[in-house]
Amino acid sequence: MRTRFWRQRTNIISATLTLIASLLLTGCFGNDEEDWNGKNISGLMPELEFDLINSQGKSVSGDDYSGRVRMLFFGFTSCPDVCPTALQKLNQVTSGLDPELQDEVLTLFVSVDPKRDTPERLAKYVDFFGDNIVGLTGKEPQLRQLAKRYRTTFGYEEPGPDGNYAVSHSSAIYVFDREGDPRLLMRSDLSAEEIRHDLVALIQEDS
Amino acid sequence: MSLLDYLLPYDFSPLTVLSYMLVMGFYGVGLIRMPDQDRPGSLRIFAFTLGVLICYAVMQTRFDYYAQYMFFVHRGQHLILHHIGPILIALSNPLPVLRFWFEKIRPGWRRALRPLGWVYQVLQQPFIALFLFVGLIYFWLWPSIHFDAMLSRELYWVMNWSMLLDGLLFWWLIFDPRPPAITSSLGYGRRMLVLAAAGVLQMFLGAWIVFSRDMVYDVYEVCGRAWPLDPEVDQLLGGMLTYIPPAMMSILGILLMLRRAMHQDGKYTNQSKQLEETAS
């Protein structure tokens, strides 16, 4: 009885073991040879998709910027420190790339403060941080949807006597490859060199 | 935001809503249809309903939003899913309802379901149950795994469901109302040992979070908080929720077990003695 049981199941067992072994060998479990500075988020999040308006006031979607390595960053133009520092750093990163690589990357700055950040104001703001950057915003529900998709959120402080208010938002940079698949999450305290290293690796891996 | 926004799920999960509806549906129909003498009293029905409702509330209302973007709310969510909810459900003793439905299953189906019973028996070995209960808390709070779980929607759901199911298994093992003297349920001494061990192991982890000087769980920093709260305060509150209430619940559980053990002390042994005497 017992031997028959095993004989019948040997095929299934060996097939399962082969499958597991091949999965392990081919690296389907996120085996990543590249030594990233950012955090590898392959498979943890959905591909890049959004429905927003750009700084010319035109509605755009994720496909409009496809084919490039994209860095997504949430912020607002009245942001005192985090956003300017991060955008300045990203400008440094892209302008330090070889000229032929510069067009392969794009920074997407999403303002989560649509009340104050009109497309015109956004355009002026992002132009200050170089050429390879696009300012995006939208209605609050659209922005909430995008933030939820990437497991982040934002919140508004009560306005002070001068009408100014702080906005809490993600401090991370989400990096997507050419296909729009999520690849890395960069903390804003990484240096420009560290970010550049990862970007170059991403640009070169599938070109 | 209107009241409805607070009551509707932040991240709607049809499977979760369906599971809760099935549980409440089967419980309610079972209650109505079962013979009067088997039916649990109103306090027990209330405890069961409350246990199920608070678990549902932390998974499928606005609470879940705050749990995703605040560490201490997340710890509160797991306190309910892994402790308070399952404790209420186990103490309500839904066994009569389960028995009612089990008797409705056809014998052929019952045979087919037997492997499930074997798995259950393995999971309810005291050492395995303790390992699973504490292991899951440590696993999901392991900083790199916690980071991934908060970033990935799928992992997040796996995390919450695994905590709830394991909580139900563990607290049912502990609060099983069947007296161990005459049934196969775990002895009171072992139950108390398991509870004490679980309490101490959770206190280690909680104390480590509370007394950590650096940020252990920075995913909330990276992904933004629901409102601008000082990260250190968030971590401290979350650590305290991991540290104090679970330890208190272990002690309360031990006291409850002591009470039950003293209550039943001699009850069954005297009975068997009497039986022996009448027999001789």
Interface of B with A in 127-146 (CB under 8 A): none
Residue A13 reports pLDDT greater than 80: no
Cross-chain CB nearest to B221 (options A147, A155, A171): A171
Q: B68 to chain A: nearest residue by CA?
A: A151
- Contact between A171 and B227 using a beta-carbon 8 Å cutoff: no
- Contact between A153 and B69 using a beta-carbon 8 Å cutoff: yes
CA-to-CA distance for A150 and A44, rounded, in angstroms?
10
Q: Testing the interface with B: which of A40, A79, A83, A152 to mutate, by most B Cβ within 10 A?
A: A152
Residues of chain B contacting A39 with CB distance shorter than 8 Å: 147
Question: Minimum mean pLDDT among A180-189, B84-93, B169-178: which range?
Answer: A180-189
- Contact between A45 and B225 using a beta-carbon 8 Å cutoff: no
Residue B194 reports pLDDT greater than 60: yes
Cross-chain CB nearest to B227 (options A74, A155, A187): A155
- Contact between B228 and A168 using a beta-carbon 8 Å cutoff: yes
- Contact between A151 and B150 using a beta-carbon 8 Å cutoff: yes
Interface membership of B148 toward A (CB under 8 Å): yes
Domain range for B77: 3-266
Residue B132 reports pLDDT greater than 50: yes
The answer to whether residue B52 sits within a structural domain is yes
The answer to whether residue B278 sits within a structural domain is no
Percent of chain A with pLDDT strictly greater than 90: 54
Compute chain B's Rg from CA coordinates: 21
Cβ contacts of A72 within 8 Å, gap of 6 or more: A48, A108, A110, A150, A173, A174, A175, A176
The answer to whether residue B51 sits within a structural domain is yes
What pLDDT, on a 0 to 100 scale, did the predictor assign at position B223? 82
What pLDDT, on a 0 to 100 scale, did the predictor assign at position B170? 97
- Contact between B151 and A151 using a beta-carbon 8 Å cutoff: yes
What pLDDT, on a 0 to 100 scale, did the predictor assign at position A1? 44
CA-to-CA distance for B235 and B243, rounded, in angstroms?
12
- Give the torsion through C-alpha atoms of B139, B140, B142, B144, to 10 deg: 120
Residues of chain A contacting B221 with CB distance shorter than 8 Å: 171
What pLDDT, on a 0 to 100 scale, did the predictor assign at position B101? 94
What pLDDT, on a 0 to 100 scale, did the predictor assign at position A175? 95
Residue A27 reports pLDDT greater than 50: no
Residue A206 reports pLDDT greater than 70: no
Percent of chain B with pLDDT strictly greater than 70: 96
- Contact between B226 and A172 using a beta-carbon 8 Å cutoff: no
The answer to whether residue B37 sits within a structural domain is yes
Give the pLDDT mean for B58-74. Answer: 95
Reduced to 3 states, what is the DSSP secondary structure of residue B245? helix
The answer to whether residue B109 sits within a structural domain is yes
Give the pLDDT mean for B100-125. Answer: 92
* β-strands A105-111, A133-137 pairing: parallel
Residues of chain B contacting A45 with CB distance shorter than 8 Å: 151-152
- Contact between A185 and B222 using a beta-carbon 8 Å cutoff: yes
Residue A136 reports pLDDT greater than 90: yes
Percent of chain A with pLDDT strictly greater than 70: 83
Cross-chain CB nearest to B224 (options A170, A185, A187): A170
What would the pLDDT profile of A82-105 be if each residue is shown by its tens digit?
889 999 999 999 998 888 888 899
CA-to-CA distance for A105 and A112, rounded, in angstroms?
22
Q: What is the overall mean pLDDT for chain B?
A: 92
Interface membership of B153 toward A (CB under 8 Å): yes
Q: A82 to chain B: nearest residue by CA?
A: B222
Q: What is the overall mean pLDDT for chain A?
A: 84
Name the band, by pLDDT with cuts 50, 70 and 90, for residue A26: very low
Counted domains in chain B? 1
Cross-chain CB nearest to B222 (options A148, A155, A171): A171
Q: A149 to chain B: nearest residue by CA?
A: B153
Question: ipTM greater than 0.85, yes or no?
Answer: no
The answer to whether residue B276 sits within a structural domain is no
Residue B272 reports pLDDT greater than 90: no
CA-to-CA distance for A21 and B2, rounded, in angstroms?
53
What would the pLDDT profile of A113-133 be if each residue is shown by its tens digit?
999 999 999 999 999 998 889
Give the pLDDT mean for A170-175. Answer: 91
Residues of chain A contacting B152 with CB distance shorter than 8 Å: 43-45, 151
Q: How far is CA A149 from CA A45, A65, A134, B16, in A?
A: 8, 18, 20, 19
What pLDDT, on a 0 to 100 scale, did the predictor assign at position B64? 96
The answer to whether residue B147 sits within a structural domain is yes
Question: Minimum mean pLDDT among A1-15, B34-48, B161-175, B255-269: which range?
Answer: A1-15
Cβ contacts of A135 within 8 Å, gap of 6 or more: A54, A55, A109, A111, A119, A122, A123, A125, A126
Give the pLDDT mean for B11-17. Answer: 95
Interface membership of B149 toward A (CB under 8 Å): no
* β-strands A167-168, A155-156 pairing: antiparallel
What would the pLDDT profile of A58-70 be if each residue is shown by its tens digit?
999 988 998 899 9
The answer to whether residue B280 sits within a structural domain is no
Name the band, by pLDDT with cuts 50, 70 and 90, for residue A166: confident
Q: Torsions phi, psi of A105, nearest 5?
A: -120, 150
- Contact between A153 and B228 using a beta-carbon 8 Å cutoff: no
Residue with more model confidence, A194 or A156: A194
Please give the angle made by the CA atoms of B28, B29 and B30, to the nearest 5 degrees: 90
Residue A5 reports pLDDT greater than 60: no
Give the pLDDT mean for B82-103. Answer: 96
Q: Measure B145 CA to nearest chain A CA, in Å.
A: 12
- Contact between B148 and A170 using a beta-carbon 8 Å cutoff: no
What would the pLDDT profile of A42-62 be if each residue is shown by its tens digit?
989 999 999 999 999 899 998
Name the band, by pLDDT with cuts 50, 70 and 90, for residue A138: very high
Other C-beta atoms closer than 10 Å to the C-beta of A149 total 15
- Contact between B68 and A153 using a beta-carbon 8 Å cutoff: yes
Give the pLDDT mean for B20-40. Answer: 95
Burial of A193 (0-12, 13-18, 19+ CB in 10 A): exposed
